[in-house]
Amino acid sequence: DILLVTGPANRRNARMLKNLYEQTPDPKVVMAVGTCACTGGMFHNCPNVLGGIDKVIPVDVYVPGCAARPEAIIDGVVLALQKLAEKARGGRK
């Protein structure tokens, strides 16, 4: 499965994000789409924001941009599918 996340990790959604990750069956790939998901974006200094989603769950593919360009998202999905196939063959998480 591919878990695609947009938006930053914050104190309110961190537990839900971690639960979603843990409930997603292996093999899985996580995509962070947009600058906010990658780094926290313009909200990174807000007290509620933890930063990019990699502060909460491991990320396999980063697609930066505010907003991420459609071509970049497509390229990210292609890369995610390749990584998913590698994980399925190798049994890695």
Comparing C-alpha atoms, which of 85, 62, 74, 63 is closest to residue 1? 85
pLDDT per residue as tens digits for the range 42-93 = 999 999 999 999 999 999 999 999 999 999 999 999 999 999 999 999 865 5
CATH for 2-90?
3.40.50.12280
Q: What's the mean pLDDT in 23-44?
A: 96
Q: Report the pLDDT value the prediction gives residue 41, as an integer from 0 to 100.
A: 94
Domain boundaries in the chain? 2-90
Residues with Cβ within 8 Å of 18's Cβ and at least 6 positions away in sequence, in order, are 56, 57
The model's pTM is 0.91
Biggest CA pair distance of the chain: 41
Q: Which helix (H) or strand (E) holds 29?
A: strand 29-33
Per the CB < 8 A criterion, the answer to whether 7 and 35 are in contact is no
Q: Report the pLDDT value the prediction gives residue 92, as an integer from 0 to 100.
A: 55
Q: Report the pLDDT value the prediction gives residue 90, as an integer from 0 to 100.
A: 86
